Amino acid sequence: MFVLEVLAKIIFLGSLTGMLVIFFRKAPLLASLPKTTPVFEKREGAWLFLFRKLKEKLKDLPFLKDFSPEMFLQRILSRIRIFTLKLESKTGQWLEALRKRSQKNKVQEKTGDQYWESLEKKDKNTPA
């Protein structure tokens, strides 16, 4: 085991030394490159160009002049909020109805289970 550990450390240090040599040899070359190259320039694609043109044309329409995305979003969120409040109210009503029905069933079970009492009364009333 000891030999394997020493061998692994030697390989690690050799690899690290090689990477550092390559880095320090290439660092001046990388520093001398221009900051912006055509590869990194922002290009406007055809779809983006068409999208911007379409957006401008839509803004020129008379019924969309006063359109505000923020107001549109606010209206949608308000409607979603109203819907969730209505849904919450409805589920509350359902839960209340279920609880009442359950309570009613429990009361009926207690009062409806008089079978044995009625048999005892019959036995007492009938002569043996």
Which amino acid, residue 26?
K
Question: Taking a C-beta distance cutoff of 8 angstroms, is the pair 59, 65 a contact?
Answer: yes
Q: Is 62 contained in some domain?
A: no
pLDDT beyond 60 at 56: yes
In a domain, 67, yes or no: no
Q: Are 64 and 58 in contact (CB under 8 A)?
A: yes
> Is residue 18 domain-resident?
no
Q: What is the pLDDT of residue 41?
A: 58
> What is the number of domains present in the chain?
1
Residue 123 lies in a domain: yes
Residue 93 lies in a domain: yes
Core vs surface per residue 80-107: b (16+ CB within 10 A) or e: eeeeeeeeeeeeeeeeeeeeeeeeeeee
Task: Judge whether 15 and 9 are in contact, CB under 8 Å.
Answer: no
Judge whether 14 lies within some domain: no
Residue 115's domain spans which residues? 86-128
Mean of all residue pLDDT scores within the chain: 84
pLDDT in tens, 76-106: 999 999 999 999 999 999 999 999 999 988 8
Answer whether residue 77 is part of any domain. Answer: no
113 belongs to a structural domain: yes
